[in-house]
Amino acid sequence: MRQHTIRKPVTLEGVGLHSGKPARVTLSPAPEDTGIVFRVGGDHIAAAPESVVNSHWATTIGKNGARVQTVEHLLAAAAGLGIDNLEVEVDGPEVPAADGSAKPFVALLAAAGRNQQSARRRPLALPYPIRVGSGGRWIHIVPAPTFRISYTLDNDHPAVGTQVLSWAPASERSFVDEVAPARTYGFLKDLGVMRKNGLARGGSLDNAVVVGDRGPLNGLRYRDEFVRHKILDLIGDLALLGRPILGHVVARNGGHALNLELVLAVQQALGLERRSAGAAVRVLAERGAKALAPARRLATI
C-alpha cells in the first residue's frame, strides 16, 4: 500500500470544544514521509508522541510555547481515511470542535480528494504484547496481522452502563459509518467543575452528547455511541505513531492519558522513541501533581 495525501487545501471553522474560542484549520497536501504536521504561527508541531504536552481530557500537542488542543478527532479522521501526509495550519488554540465527532473532518478530507504518493506505507508490527494501566483501567495490545480494537466501557451512569464493542476496519466505509460519527460526551453534573478548570467552555448540545440525570439530553446516533467515541479517540491517539499499527488493542476504561502511555510504550518497544522520556516528563508536569492519581506505569508482558 502506498502513502496518500490530499489533493487541495480545505478549511473548517468553528469553536474549540474546551477553549470555547474561535478556531480554524486549513488542511494542505504534504510530501511523502512528512506525516501530519500542525503549523501554528511560525512553529511546526509534528503529530508525534514527543509533541504531546497534555493528555488530560483531550490531546494537546505543542512546541516552543505554541499549543494545539484537541487534535485527536482530526487525527482519527486522517487515519481512518488512510491519509498519511498532511499539513494542518491552525488559527486559534484548538482544532474546531465541529459536531464533537470525526464526521465533519471525514467530510472535509473527502472534499479535498486523495492523492496517491510513490513512497510505501510502512505499518508497525509489534515484537510482543504490551500492557499499560492497572486496576479497572488498562489497555493491552497484542501482535496481529491486522488492526482491531475491542473496547469495554463501564460507567456508573445507567444511560452509559457497560458498553462493549469489538471493531475492525473491514473497509474504508467501516470507519466512516461505524466510528467517525460517534460524538464526544460529558455529564451535566461535571460541567461546572470542568468549566472552572478551563475545559468544555465551547461544549454544547451541538458538539457533544450531554448526559443529564435521566439520560442524554440530545438524541444518540448509536445505542452504544459512548464506546464508539472511545474507539475513535484511541484511533486518533494511536495516529501519533505516524504509521498504522498491526495489532489487536483490547482496552477497558481508557482515556487520553492512558492512550498516550500505550503510544509511548509501543514506541519504546519498537525502538522508535526519540525524546519520549522528555515527553512523558512534560505530560506529567502539565497534568499537575493532583490530577490523575495512579502513577504512570509501563509494563510489558
Quick one: cell of 56? 488530560
Kindly state the smallest distance separating residue 37's Cβ from Zn ion, in Å: 21
SS3 129: coil
Q: Give the catalytic positions in this structure.
A: 256
Per CB under 5 A, the segment of 14-22, 114-122, 180-188, 198-206 that binds Zn ion is 180-188
The rounded distance, in Å, linking the Cα atoms of 286 and 269 is 25
Strands 36-40 and 86-91: parallel
Query: Which residue's entry shows cell 506505569?
Result: 297
Point out which residues pair with 52 in neighbouring strands.
61
Per CB under 5 A, the segment of 3-11, 27-35, 232-240, 278-286 that binds Zn ion is 232-240
Kindly state the smallest distance separating residue 196's Cβ from Zn ion, in Å: 21
Residue 237 near Zn ion by CB under 5 A: no
CA dihedral 280, 58, 298, 135 (to 10 degrees): 140
Closest CA to 160 of 150, 171, 152, 172: 152
Per CB under 5 A, the list member of 184, 207, 259, 276 interacting with Zn ion is 184
Kindly state the smallest distance separating residue 128's Cβ from Zn ion, in Å: 29
SS3 1: coil
Residues 239-298 that bind Zn ion (CB under 5 A): none
Per CB under 5 A, the segment of 1-9, 20-28, 203-211, 229-237 that binds Zn ion is 229-237
Per CB under 5 A, the list member of 99, 233, 237, 273 interacting with Zn ion is 233
List contacts with Zn ion (CB under 5 A): 184, 233
